[in-house]
Structures are given as structure tokens and as C-alpha cells.
Chains A and B, each alone.
Chain A
Amino acid sequence: AQRVTQPEKLLSVFKGAPVELKCNYSYSGSPELFWYVQYSRQRLQLLLRHISRESIKGFTADLNKGETSFHLKKPFAQEEDSAMYYCALSRDSGGGADGLTFGKGTHLIIQP
């Protein structure tokens, strides 16, 4: 069965510092990887997905199949980045029929 691991429950960095949220997965096939974000009192929303290769709000994530990782990075953290971040995996192209497998999440706190 597939699994997603986010080793840090809590990550605190200062504004302007680089941010890296770690995500490792286990799945024998070719998964699709996502990062979801939940800001305070807001809904869970998609931040980015690896197939789109976009940079959203300054965040990027590269799928490393050799290391089975999909770490989320941002060079300069901003206070509005404080939120819960979830890494998720889908065995199909969109997490539709098969559902998404989520990591336990990392609470990112950006200190002023």
C-alpha cells in the first residue's frame, strides 16, 4: 500500500529565511504528488501538483523518484505562508477514483 511521510509536525522559521517542507512517499508505481495547504479558518486547497511544474506563491516542489521525495521549497518565507501543509499522493491522474493518500501534515510557522 502507498504511504506518505512528513517527518516534521512543526516547522518554525523566520521571515525571509528559506523554507523546506519534507515529504517522502512509498509506492511501487508512478504516482502523482500534490501539496495541499490549509490556512487558519480556511478550507483545504491545492497548492501545487508535480505534473504542472508550476510555482505557486513562490513555492516549488520537484519529484525525485530516486529518493521518493517531493519536498516543498520557498527561498524567502513570508508571514502569510504560516499554515498547515499536507503532502498527498494519488495512484491515478487526479486522486479521483482512487482517493488521495495524505501525510500527517506539517504546521509551518513564520516568525516576524
Chain B
Amino acid sequence: KAGVTQTPRYLIKTRGQQVTLSCSPISGHRSVSWYQQTPGQGLQFLFEYFSETQRNKGNFPGRFSGRQFSNSRSEMNVSTLELGDSALYLCASSGQAGDEQFFGPGTRLTVL
């Protein structure tokens, strides 16, 4: 079974731009969660989608948004990028609540 995939793996943007990251979960998984990882703050929960519905959201500004499609693939969008948005963005998928979360390799976003 193929693992969680994320595209692109690396991205360079400038301040003020917007960016869209993509996550394809393991086949059959319906839950996708997104995390931001930085050296200072560590791993922080962004939001989680299940069957195209956002079930919960972490403590991030409204510039961070996401969506999930009917095939469970998910995208997250960051608008009006700031230097502090430079981070590794990880997504994780699981089948149901209570199941193990499987992480993707991450997308490394650099904001200049």
C-alpha cells in the first residue's frame, strides 16, 4: 500500500504571495490532518478533515485554510505569506478516529 504523498516537496515563495500544498492520503483513509513544524515552535496542529468536512482547527490565523475532496485528497492554502510561515508542513492520514496516523514526507516552504 502506497504511503502518504505530499507535493511539492520543496517550495520557495516571496512575502505576500499565496501557496497551495497537496496531500494524498493512504488509499481508503478518510481523515487528513495538517501540521506545521518549525525549529522554534515544533510540531503544531493546523486542522483536520474527515469526509470533506473540517472537524477541528488549531490556533492559526485565517490565512491558513484547507479543503478535502471526495477522493480524500486534501489541500492547504496559505495566503499573504509572511517570513514566519517558513516551515515544514506535514500531513497525516488515518482511516477512522482512533486509528494510527501515518505521516507524509512533508513540504518544505521557504518564504523570502
A residues adjacent to B (C-beta < 8 A) = 43-46, 49, 86, 88, 92-105
Contacts and interface: CB of A to CB of B under 8 A. Distances in A.
27 contacts: A43-B3, A43-B4, A43-B106, A44-B90, A44-B103, A45-B102, A45-B103, A93-B97, A93-B98, A94-B94, A94-B99, A96-B50, A96-B94, A96-B99, A96-B101, A97-B55, A97-B56, A97-B97, A98-B45, A99-B45, A99-B47, A99-B48, A100-B33, A100-B35, A100-B43, A100-B45, A102-B43
Contacts of B4: 43
B103 A96 contact: no
Interface string B83-112: 000000010001011111111111000000
Interface of B: 3-4, 31, 33, 35, 42-48, 50, 55-56, 58, 90, 94, 96-106
Nearest first, the 3 A-B pairs at minimum CB distance are A99-B45, A94-B98, A93-B98
Nearest to B105: A43
Contacts, number: 69
Main SS of chain B's interface residues? strand
Given A43-B3, A44-B103, A96 B42 contact: no
Contacts of A96: 31, 33, 48, 50, 55, 94, 96-99, 101
User: For chain A, what secondary structure do more than half of its interface residues adopt (helix, strand, loop), or is it mixed?
Assistant: loop
Given A46-B101, A99-B46, 15 more contacts: A43-B104, A43-B105, A44-B103, A86-B43, A94-B94, A94-B96, A94-B98, A94-B100, A95-B101, A97-B56, A99-B33, A99-B48, A100-B33, A100-B101, A102-B42
